[in-house]
Amino acid sequence: MKKILVFAGTRPEAIKMVPVVRALRALDTFDVTLCASGQHKEMLEQAFADFGLKPDVDLGVMAPSQTLAGLSSRLFIAIDTLLEREKPDAILVQGDTTTAQVAGLCAFYRRIPLGHVEAGLRSHDLEAPFPEEMNRRVISMVGQWHFAPTELARQNLLDEKVAPSSIYVTGNTVIDALLEMRERIRKKPPALPPAIEAVLSAKRSIVLITGHRRESFGQGFENICEALKRLAEHHEDVSFAAGLDSEHHS
């Protein structure tokens, strides 16, 4: 039985890796260990709990006002120690977070095969998204299996001379997570806050906005808010619901 170590550090990683963990655990050929790095804490715990999953390992690397360098240093030590102890046959990471990038490098240093879920996304600008564009390029350099969500993502990898035989177009696992949650909600509808109930009962079109990128801090978010204000003024038949993450994604 092959031992697979699956990493997730942020809420988006947790949501997108849930279907992967479920699929692997449904097979008799894999022993799956789910590792939460703790890059996000409360939001990560909430995401897993929403899907009825609990990490087997929690590295707990989150610290107040952490810098990317500080986070990376804690991740390198914690992940490398974990790999030494667990000795997995392969590891899986998702996306372009600092957790995914550091886990990928740790696997590379120990010559452990690496699979990258949602591989091949590119902006071709290292400044945007920052530092995610760098993270995902690094992971692609050291990975053995590249699970691209789209043909465009596959082409990005081919343009970077990634071996075609190592690229698999799978679609995006967030859709699998969405469909699972839809079924859960249909079976047991949750109680919603009055403000959300009021919006839904109005039977209007709804636009949900979320923002968290570092490059949007300051003037970027002011511009977003101004644009939303103008849209709301010109489209009175549409409800705009905005939420900002309290923690950095990367």
* Domains delineated in the chain: 2-179 (3.40.50.2000), 191-244 (no CATH)
CA–chain centroid gap for 148, Å, is 14
φ and ψ of 203, to 5 deg: 60, 35
Pairing, β 238-244 against β 205-211: parallel
Q: What is the DSSP letter of 167?
A: E
Q: Which two tokens stand for residue 74?
A: 């804690």
Q: What is the pTM of this model?
A: 0.85
CB atoms within 10 A of CB 71: 22
DSSP SS3 for 35: strand
pLDDT in 10s for each residue of the chain, 250 residues: 999 999 999 999 999 999 999 999 999 999 999 999 988 778 888 899 999 999 999 999 988 888 999 999 999 999 999 999 999 999 999 999 999 999 999 999 999 999 999 999 999 999 888 899 999 999 999 999 999 999 999 999 999 999 999 999 999 999 999 999 999 999 988 888 887 788 778 777 888 787 766 666 777 778 888 888 898 888 888 888 765 454 445 5
